[in-house]
Amino acid sequence: MQAEKSTRPRQVWQWADVRRRKLGMWAYTLNRVSGLGLVLYLFIHLAVLRLLAGGPAAWDNFLALVRSPLFLVLDVVLLAGLLIHGLNGIRLTITGLGIGVPAHKTWFLALMAAALILSAAGAIAIFTM
């Protein structure tokens, strides 16, 4: 099998183009965007942990910062991202094994509803604790 001639314009970003696409494509793109977000978070997290090397003072300053409402909102975003990506991952694992494939859209809607509810519950917990 030869590879196709690569005379076509590269359209890699098309994976993120959900215009005129169906729910499956939204799920696909949402999973990628949330995945990239979580990877970004991981690196930020590692950078933040480096503050521990600066001793208790540096860490306390940082903790004061993250208790501000803006950071609490970001916490909710993080939680939502985790839920979306994790629950979607469960759907992909199940359909990927050939189970419930025709119902993949229902799976997606149900799990995303669960993600929404859990994120809301999380938000309440975060802001009231």
Whichever of 3 and 46 has its CB closer to other proteins, that residue is: 3
d(CA 116, CA 113): 5
User: Binding of other proteins at residue 96 (CB under 8 A)?
Assistant: yes
Instruction: Out of 55, 98, 111, 113, point to the residue binding other proteins (CB under 8 A).
Output: 98
Angle at 44 between CA 42 and CA 49, to 5 degrees: 95
**Binding map of other proteins across residues 9-48, x = CB under 8 A, - = no contact:** x-xxxxx---xxxx-xx-xxx-xx----------------
Quote the CA–CA distance of 61 and 75 in Å, as a whole number: 18
How far apart (Å, rounded) are the C-alpha atoms in residues 125 and 51?
26
Based on the shown chain and the rule CB under 8 A, indicate whether residue 86 belongs to the binding site for other proteins.
Answer: no
Of 124, 12, 28, 40, give the one whose Cα is nearest residue 76.
124
Chain residues in the site for other proteins (CB under 8 A): 1-9, 11-15, 19-22, 24-25, 27-29, 31-32, 92, 95-99, 101-102, 104
